[in-house]
Amino acid sequence: MTILNVLKIFIITLFLFLFIDFCFGTKMLDYVINAKKNQYRKEQFAIEHKYRINHKVYNHALINNYEGQGSWGVIPYKVCTNDNGFRIKCGESTKMEDKYDLIIIGDSNTEGVSLDFEKTFVGKISENYPNKKIINMSVASYSPAIYLSKLMYYLKLGINVQHVLVIIDPSDLFNDMVNYHYKDGIVTSKNKEYIVAVDKDPDKHRVEEVSNFKIRSLKILSRYLFPLTYQGLHITKNYLLNITPREGYLPNPGVSWSFDKEHTGYKGISIKKGKQISFNYMDKLYKELSSRGIKLSVAVTPWPDHLHFDNENSSFVKDWKIFCNDRCFQFFNFLKPMFYFKEIFGAERSQELLYIKNDIHNNEFGHHVIAKSFIENQLFWDK
């Protein structure tokens, strides 16, 4: 076989490969990348459906008296609940107490997804105060609408408590604005077709894309027209040059309102109005608790986004601190201990230390940091 024939075969093969890449590359690449991820998701949902249930009053909950495996992504962990579906340490009594010193309620991070109960900050706080009766009412995707609904539900059933600590997550605002409808104490889900924030100037990114296209046209064309070829060459280059690829952290649309001054809101509702919705729920909760002689305290916790784009005195912090001025027994800013690490290690390394990899939830060390901050600063009981 002559060199000319070999060259012809190579050109034809290359042309066929690029043609297949052009027509089907994106779908093939998505399948390769997402096949394992989708399998993990199916397995996770199958496990979670054993202990996550709908609730006719406060939307959703953990099932009563569950003891078994939980799943968060590819991370297995133990989940145990008591008679009312509140998460407890496995092996503890599932019976409700006559009186509690403290109810803690929040969303998924406070529930402690991915961690056994004793490794969560609620578990660590409970362990530090063995003579105090502390219960965790938190469940993933809760927000002030559900905090109000769930607490009122159990207060009317006769639960006796001295103090309630509400852990506010930056995603709570999005949930109150977009996900939930509260009426007469009942929380129902809204349409799941969400519209995320848009810029005041919708053409801004289009101009930037045109400008970048002129500068990086060849790279963009190769990446989007021939994705398999681009990805293969990219991996080969990284391997030969011993480069560990790392993409910049991108802000999550569900929490970017707290540091993006140009944020215009969600689903046609302004951020200002959205804040008022959450504050109204919490104000109603404060009044209901106060009328029963129950103290209210509030804490705020950060996402990795805040380490990258915000500061420990975020508007998110300031807003809830102002809310607490005449209502709360104590206000906790859990951004502060997280930003202590940022000052030393920077945002990227701090995220690795404090959060689950590629996730917005705290890992065990992050939970330890929150628990330590609470224990050192709480004015509820003697240290």
Confidence of residue 248 (pLDDT cuts 50, 70, 90): low
Q: How far is CA 325 from CA 13, 273, 298, 322, in A?
A: 72, 20, 11, 5
Q: Mind listing the pLDDT tens digit for each residue in 346-361?
A: 999 999 999 999 899 9
* Of 362 and 213, more confident: 362
At residue 249, the pLDDT reads: 74
At residue 210, the pLDDT reads: 37
Question: What is the C-alpha to C-alpha distance for residues 301 and 110, in angstroms, rounded to an integer?
Answer: 10
At residue 340, the pLDDT reads: 97
CB atoms within 10 A of CB 343: 9
Confidence of residue 235 (pLDDT cuts 50, 70, 90): low
Both tokens of residue 183? 């009426």
For residue 54, list its beta bridge partners.
Answer: 60
| Residue 176 per-residue DSSP state | I
Question: Does an H or E element contain 180, and which?
Answer: strand 180-183
Q: What is the mean pLDDT of residues 5-11?
A: 80
Mean per-residue pLDDT of the chain: 86
CB 145 within 8 A of CB 175: yes
Lowest mean pLDDT among 105-109, 195-199, 259-263, 357-361: 195-199
Q: How far is CA 241 from CA 222, 223, 229, 244, in A?
A: 21, 20, 18, 9
Sorted by where each starts, the structural domains of the chain and their CATH numbers stand as 17-45+201-240 (no CATH), 54-197+253-377 (3.40.50.1110)
Q: Mind listing the pLDDT tens digit for each residue in 61-99?
A: 999 999 999 999 889 999 999 999 999 999 999 999 889
Question: What is the C-alpha to C-alpha distance for residues 245 and 321, in angstroms, rounded to an integer?
Answer: 40
- Determine how β-strand 67-72 pairs with β-strand 75-81: antiparallel
